[in-house]
Chains A and B, each alone.
Chain A
Amino acid sequence: MDTKLSRRGFIKASAATAALASAGTVGFNEWSNQYVKAGANAEIKEIPSTCNACSSKCGMIGHVKNGRLWKLTGHPDHPYSKGKLCARGHGYATVVYSQDRLTQPLKRVGEKKFEPITWEQAYKEIAEKLNKIIKEHGPQSVALTEDPRASGKFYSPRFINALGSSNYYTHHVVCSNSRDSGFLHTVGVSSTSADISNAKYIMFIGRSYGDGIRPSSVQALAAAKDNGAKIVIVDPRLNNTGNLATEWLAIRPGTDLALVLAMSHVLIKENLHDMAFIKNYTVGFEDYAKELKKYTPEWAEKITGISADSITRIAIDMGKAKPKALIEQSWRGAFGCNYENSTETGRSVAMFNALLGNYQQKGGSIFGGKPNLGKLNESKHPNPKEPEAPKAGKKEFPLAYHSHGVATIVAKEALEGKMKAAIYYHSNASLGYGNPKVMKEALSKMDLVVAIDVQMSETAQLAHYVLPEVTYIERDEVIEGLSGKIPGIALRQQMVDKVHPETKPIHEIYTELAKVCGVGQYFNFSLDELNEAMLAPTGITYKQLREKGTIMFPNEEISLGKMKELKTPSGKVEFYSETYKEAGFKPIVEWIEPKVSPADDSFRLITGKQAIHSHTQTANIPILMQITKDYDLERIWINPVRAKALGIKDGDMVELKSSEATSKIRVKLTERIHPEAIFVPSHYGITSKDLKTGQGIGFGYMEHVPFDFEKWSGAGNIHEVIVKVRKVNG
């Protein structure tokens, strides 16, 4: 009886409730009064912070009961959460109590064999090796890759630059590199945002608000739907945002570019483009319009499988709804993910939005404002010099967005013997960034691989040293600047005491390691000093920010209706790009075939997010993985017509074979998928035996992805995969 009473908060009240209940049915108010009284013993603190379950870093409030994280709610003021949190946001927080946490620094002593060492030994040996490598091969033989979060964004580039290397990379190589490049050279920024709630016509291409979730985006879309907006989803699968859509265009995978070119053709042909906007704010329109003449809806119908009538109708309707019409800017695997033509698709989308004149308009595409944050005093806290040698990959991919870089170049250069050391912070590159076989080989060739993580990821397994970080529930971080219609700031802060005493927050790890490496002069400040310096121009005190967690600056709201000068060479939207020309590419956007195509007996393997998982970091979270188990969410999607021809029934076990790998997996038969494609959710296939919850569930789609770079942006061509399927015994 005691265990029954003690385990749950609300059951604690039951003794009091029982006294009332025994007299007959109790009233709710009496019941709840008794509950409140009985539950009053628990000390509950509410601490505002930010989420770490995906790259959005939504504002959240941690409810800590008797010193233990109990539950979370969305921060009402944060522009991404607006009071809500998604499932992964709630569930990933339980990582703090994971049975599989890394608890002490580890040194590899054999194949997947590690022994615990002290921090001092780890720092000393890593520093010695780093300095030796730099001395022998130069600083450009060292690289750092991360999935950036608030502290990492500040400390990681600073650390690698302090070592004299410019090789800083992010996970965007398998995320938005294509979009970033296409947008950058067209509108001067790697991404715009969208005024969804005010839009009248919204098209999504390969982007699903209901799967790759930012709660405020879903709220805005639901509001747009309530207001009667037309919402078109272009995707080879009917994704989970389908419920909010008015129309699904089941496009042939890899052909989004043809659709956008044809819609652009229609806009110009029907004279529905915004000529005033084009005259004032764009360059190269005449050349572009001339090129577009050949991209008729009839031409696109043959390529995309979308009828010419639908293409014409939608383009005309969007033209009529302009400027409150847009193609949303997308993010992960922009525009149907990473095909050989995805950068050009990104570019064509940015141009289509220019035809609609929707930039900086209500209901259109938005260039957000940034908060004005301070910096450390450089005379006291010197900045490491920007290394002169260009980032590895810059030469091969001059169009790539510099801040993100092409992370997989590290593996390529390691295989070529050029890259000698790699640090991975908050990044499972070996499983998530392209072909794991190649990544494993590349990492094994390097003299030093360091992984900083909270759990024994596949990348950590391949490292020489593993440094255990505290989770985001147990640390303060650098202030995060929020850009948008209204700029603001958010602070991730510690909610509970450190669970494992030998773990450290990243700012401490970098600061201490830098000292031992001999570059400690660039880290001669505390996190609090840094945050105070950042806050200085805002007039907000650190104490205020700690109390509120998220603070917005409504006085700095950007004014819509006014176009600004863009950061392109011309200062305008570039229908014609000299930058492209100089880099050896066509200055005018054109149709590019996908790199590979399925035959009658094969499929294209496509992937995407599920609402409950993020990269591979959530696969080991029991409360989230249980949902996968309850609803068989790791299965591949296959169209019933194709399945029937192959003698495959729903739930059957199949073998899926590509040029790179063979996997066994059960199937989900669904009409929600294009017959030429197989969909596999992107977060499974954990192989690390130290991740007991995630290991062995589903398969990692990256195993099937050839190690390849898209020519324009360097993005991984993660959708250029052909597979064959046959039924096997389970």
Chain B
Amino acid sequence: MARYGMVIDTRKCVGCYACRVSCQMQNELPVEETYIKFHEKETGVFPNVKNEIIPVQCQHCEDAPCVSVCPTKATYTTKEGIVLVDADKCIGCKYCMVACHYGARTQDHNTGVVEKCRFCAELVAEGKQPACVSTCISNARIFGDLDDPNSEVSKTIVKMNAQPLRPDLGKAKIYYVR
């Protein structure tokens, strides 16, 4: 059984927002609603400056707080480790939004459903890549099976010593190269 995860190499990310827009179109989201948010971190003083862009979305935590707090079990984790939302069960209480360490959840103002990155589960089921990964112009995103040591994602994590964004906040399935 695959256990899906992702690597985001921020040293390659040019902050182009292609992942955000392709995700919105894949998921037919309203323009104000996004699953991917961007944080900029500028360090140093002119002209010795570094700028890092950190795309953040649902980290598909192993022990996801959004899953444990959900009163209706609308948010659940699949056997493959993807955290999903059952829209029919969601009552829009926003408990999961509060519980999420990463601010990764967003409420659809039309439906009231609180949603987030789903690793494009239906594309993955067809053997394809999530929309954000397939469109990433610098190949900064790699998706695959974390349990397969020969998968590109696993090899990259080892080679680049990729780390979760906040290892202190639990085991995430998105790893960052920074």
Contacts and interface: CB of A to CB of B under 8 A. Distances in A.
Interface of A: 3-5, 7-11, 13-15, 17-18, 21, 25-29, 31-33, 35-36, 39, 70-74, 83-87, 89-91, 209-211, 213, 215, 218-219, 221-222, 225, 238, 240-244, 248, 250, 611-612, 622-624, 626-627, 630-631, 639, 641, 670-675
Contacts of B107: none
B31 A28 contact: no
Contacts of B34: 630
13 contacts: A9-B27, A10-B122, A18-B89, A25-B73, A35-B121, A36-B125, A71-B22, A73-B134, A74-B134, A85-B22, A213-B137, A240-B14, A240-B51
Nearest to A630: B34
A1 B32 CA distance: 22
A34 to B, nearest CB: 10
A74 B11 CA distance: 23
B119 to A, nearest CB: 9
Contacts of B124: 32
Q: Tell me which of B25, B134, B136, B138 has the highest count of chain A C-beta atoms within 10 A of its own C-beta.
A: B138
A71 B138 contact: no
Contacts of A672: 42, 46, 49, 51
Contacts of A624: 21
A194 B21 CA distance: 29
A32 B121 contact: yes
Given A32-B125, A213-B16, A611-B15, A85 B135 contact: yes
A43 to B, nearest CB: 16
Nearest to B47: A250
B46 A10 contact: no
B86 interface: yes
B131 interface: yes
Contacts of A215: 137
Given A213-B137, A219-B139, A248 B12 contact: no
A27 B51 CA distance: 40
B15 A10 contact: no
Interface in B37-68: 38, 42, 44-47, 49-53
B63 to A, nearest CB: 14
Contacts of A25: 73, 76-79
Contact of B122 (A35, A86, A248, A622): A35
B82 interface: yes
Contacts of B137: 84-86, 213, 215, 218-219
A366 B118 CA distance: 43
The secondary-structure label for the interface of chain A is helix
A222 B53 CA distance: 16
Interface string B15-36: 1111011101111100110100
A675 B22 CA distance: 36
B89 A21 contact: yes
Nearest to B9: A222
A15 B21 CA distance: 27
Contact of B125 (A33, A89, A210, A622): A33
B100 interface: no
Given A15-B88, A90-B22, 8 more contacts: A4-B113, A21-B73, A28-B79, A28-B80, A31-B78, A31-B84, A218-B137, A242-B50
Contacts of B150: none
B86 A627 contact: no
B135 A90 contact: yes
B21 A243 contact: no
Q: Tell me which of A11, A33, A639 has the highest count of chain B C-beta atoms within 10 A of its own C-beta.
A: A11
B14 A241 contact: yes
A28 B121 contact: yes
Contacts of A240: 14-16, 51, 53
Contacts of B112: 4
A239 to B, nearest CB: 9
B149 to A, nearest CB: 21
Contact of A84 (B18, B32, B47, B51): B18
A611 B28 contact: no
Q: Tell me which of B46, B50, B136 has the highest count of chain A C-beta atoms within 10 A of its own C-beta.
A: B46
B87 A11 contact: yes
Contacts of B77: 25
B86 A17 contact: yes
Nearest to B134: A73
Given A21-B73, A213-B137, A675 B16 contact: no
A639 B45 CA distance: 10
Interface in B116-161: 118, 121-122, 124-126, 131, 134-140
A269 B80 CA distance: 63
A674 B46 contact: yes
Contacts of B14: 209-211, 218, 240-241, 243-244, 611
Nearest to A31: B78
Contacts of A33: 125
Contacts of A244: 11-12, 14, 138
Nearest to A225: B12
Contacts of B136: 84
B88 A18 contact: yes
A219 B82 CA distance: 28
A21 B76 contact: yes
A18 B86 contact: yes
B39 to A, nearest CB: 10
Closest 9 CB pairs of A and B: A210-B14, A32-B125, A28-B78, A250-B47, A28-B80, A611-B16, A71-B25, A27-B79, A87-B17
B42 A671 contact: yes
Contacts of A210: 14-16, 138
Contacts of A74: 134-135
Q: Tell me which of B82, B112, B125 has the highest count of chain A C-beta atoms within 10 A of its own C-beta.
A: B125
Q: Tell me which of B13, B15, B79, B137 has the highest count of chain A C-beta atoms within 10 A of its own C-beta.
A: B137
Contacts of B16: 86-87, 210, 213, 218, 240, 611-612
A71 B12 CA distance: 25
Contacts of A36: 122, 125-126
A587 to B, nearest CB: 36
Q: Tell me which of B42, B84, B134, B140 has the highest count of chain A C-beta atoms within 10 A of its own C-beta.
A: B84
A375 B23 CA distance: 42
B125 A35 contact: yes
Contacts of B86: 14, 17-18, 21
B78 A14 contact: no
Contact of A670 (B22, B42, B113): B42
A673 B46 contact: yes
B163 interface: no
Q: Tell me which of A7, A15, A70, A639 has the highest count of chain B C-beta atoms within 10 A of its own C-beta.
A: A7
Contacts of B10: 243
Contacts of B22: 71-73, 85, 87, 90
Interface string B80-99: 10101011110000000000
A353 to B, nearest CB: 25
Contacts of A83: 134
A248 B139 CA distance: 22
Contact of B52 (A9, A21, A85, A243): A243
Nearest to A238: B49
Contacts of B111: 3-4, 7, 11
